[in-house]
Structure 1
Amino acid sequence: MNLRMKNLLMMVIGAFMYGIAVNWFLLPHEIGDGGVVGLAAIGYYALGIPPDISNIVLNALLLLLGYRLLDKKIIFNSLWAVIWISVFLRLPNFLDYTTDQTIIPATVAGLLMGFGLFLIFNAGGTIAGSTVLGEIGNRYLGMKRGNAMLIFDLAVAIPSGFIIGFENMLLTVVELYTCAMFLNKLRSFFGAKKSVTIITNKTEEVTGALSNTLKQGITLINSTGYYHKQSREMIYLICSDKQVANIFPLISNIDKNAFVVVDDVHSVKGEELPRIL
């Protein structure tokens, strides 16, 4: 199975988890959501409109907006994910789970939706709705996807209290917050990148060891110390959290006095690095 097919399959799995979260945990407890799904839920509670129909129609409009602002590949992947979410929204509720402790389905739904979004995002898609707006916010404003989505989702969730009641509106906020934070944690844990800057008197030895170990590009930057006016090359590279853990003992074995700075990277662009973190 090639990478393209794996990504399409991953989006289907993510759409399944998202659809199950809505259909089996949110709707039976009259809990809302944000973005298009939140509007679809309101339409279902107030007018009895099937959420899968609302999901397709409303997202089609947003995908038209995204078509002019985002990569065409993302738009296609988003359409693929939206179609499958609508399919899974039509699945019968075999679980038939209801409880008076409604914080439980709100939290479980948030976790399922966060994990589903993680799979869809990692495969290069979105679920349209607020995720298209979140993608735009991430790309053009530098916001984290989860945070950008949360802002747009709350714009729908808070007014929904007039339909589902104040308590269920608060549960909706809990679900959205859980989803956004879990999504950010997953992306941080599995896809986070670090920038590493190294100043050492043994530049050639350290660079060679890093290159042999990491098997990736490393940049040398000409620099001059202000106090001693001494020129030397700084080592700069982008790597994962796991690679950072291996870098420190490697550098220490060569130069115990090396100066190393590690920073979080919010976004990168390159052939082998994910664009959105």
Structure 2
Amino acid sequence: MNNSKLMNPVRVILPILLGAAIYAFGLLYFIIPNELMEGGVTGITVLLNYAFGISPSLSTLVINIPLFLIGWKLLGGRQIIYTGVGIGALTFFLWLFERLIKQGWIDPFRTHSDYLLAALYAGVTLGAGLGIVFRFGGTTGGSDIIARILNRKTGWSMGQIMLAIDIIIIGSSLFYIPKEKILYTLVAVFIASKVIDFIQEGAYSARAFMIISDHANDIADIITRDMDRGVTIIPAIGAFSKQAKHMAYCVVSRQEIRTLHQIVRSVDPKAFVIINDVHDVHGEGFKVE
């Protein structure tokens, strides 16, 4: 019983530490050596490093203290604990990689021509790090706290919120960073936002079909027989015609989308079909946890 209680926090904290390490590595290995920018509070620390040579680990800790206090009031007990772990981990790994770079143990990726390559790898690395941290309920402080609060309040994805905040802050750095570096940075930020959503929402993506047809039952029978997928028949009424109809609701994998399209067209070419993205599907025929 006690071991089980201890293991749950460990299973959360260890991935947060891993994500913070990946993020810190990407910042010091790809971003700063190529004089690119980053969004959020991290972008401020990068600018302070460029302008005054202030250590990113030091400025990250100092700036995050008041934001951590705000998060303490708004994000709840366990959430703020994981936020504190994220802030502490990011500060530590920034400090660690700074020392390893200064001592020559790590040779950062520097380029004078292929900034697109640096931006691509920076986006993947930073996005992977933050995505892991977010997926396990933590943040690395800074705008991550703001993003998580807005995610709860508005339902917008973490990646979308981070992208908006990053664009605002990066745009304000035009007075110092050359425009071409800003454009490369936007590439990195965009890729990072997509990687964040990919990791947080799950690598497995399915599609939900809503099929409105006078032959919905026939379509459902063929889907069940030929595809071995469950279908839910939902009664509906046409707002214009006032006639009773049926809607077939079915979730399939990406590989089965074309097959389902063909079934619908073969039974009722006039069927009205709505397709939505679905993430983290659980149940029979899909992943089980």
Computing the radius of gyration from Cα coordinates, the structure with the larger value is 2
Compute the displacement of 1:67 (Å): 3.6
| Contact 1:133/1:152, CA 8 A, preserved across alignment | no
Distance 1:4 1:230, change over 3 A: farther
Q: 2:128 aligns with which of 112, 115, 135?
A: 115
Amino acid at match of 1:138: N
| Contact 2:218/2:267, CA 8 A, preserved across alignment | no
SS across alignment from 1:15: helix
1:197 aligns with 2:210: yes
Indicate the residue corresponding to 2:162 in structure 1. Answer: 149
Q: How many angstroms apart in 2 are the aligned matches of 1:110 and 1:190?
A: 17
1:264 aligns with 2:264: no
Distance 1:214 1:134, change over 3 A: farther
Q: How many angstroms apart in 2 are the aligned matches of 1:243 and 1:260?
A: 21
Indicate the residue corresponding to 1:16 in structure 2. Answer: 21
Correspondence list, 1:83-232, <5 A: 83-89=88-94, 90-91=96-97, 92-93=100-101, 94-101=106-113, 103=115, 104-185=117-198, 190=203, 192=205, 194-198=207-211, 206=220, 221-225=234-238, 231=244
Which structure 2 residue ranges, 5 or more long, are not aligned? 284-289
Q: How many angstroms apart in 2 are the aligned matches of 1:236 and 1:75?
A: 39
Compute the displacement of 1:22 (Å): 0.7
| Contact 1:214/1:243, CA 8 A, preserved across alignment | no
Distance 1:219 1:123, change over 3 A: farther
Distance 1:242 1:125, change over 3 A: farther
Q: How many angstroms apart in 2 are the aligned matches of 1:81 and 1:87?
A: 10
Q: How many residues align?
A: 266
Compute the displacement of 1:19 (Å): 0.6
Q: How many angstroms apart in 1 are the aligned matches of 2:168 and 2:50?
A: 18
* Percent pairwise identity: 26
Distance 1:234 1:72, change over 3 A: farther
| Contact 2:23/2:126, CA 8 A, preserved across alignment | yes
Which structure 1 residue ranges, 5 or more long, are not aligned? 273-277
TM-score (norm 2): 0.70
Q: How many angstroms apart in 2 are the aligned matches of 1:69 and 1:157?
A: 26
Amino acid at match of 1:105: A
Residues 79-88 or 200-209, more deviating? 200-209
Indicate the residue corresponding to 1:275 in structure 2. Answer: none
Q: How many angstroms apart in 2 are the aligned matches of 1:63 and 1:128?
A: 7
Q: 2:54 aligns with which of 46, 49, 53?
A: 49
SS across alignment from 1:264: strand
Q: How many angstroms apart in 1 are the aligned matches of 2:184 and 2:239?
A: 56
Compute the displacement of 1:231 (Å): 4.3
Q: How many angstroms apart in 2 are the aligned matches of 1:205 and 1:107?
A: 44
SS across alignment from 1:158: helix
| Contact 2:134/2:200, CA 8 A, preserved across alignment | no
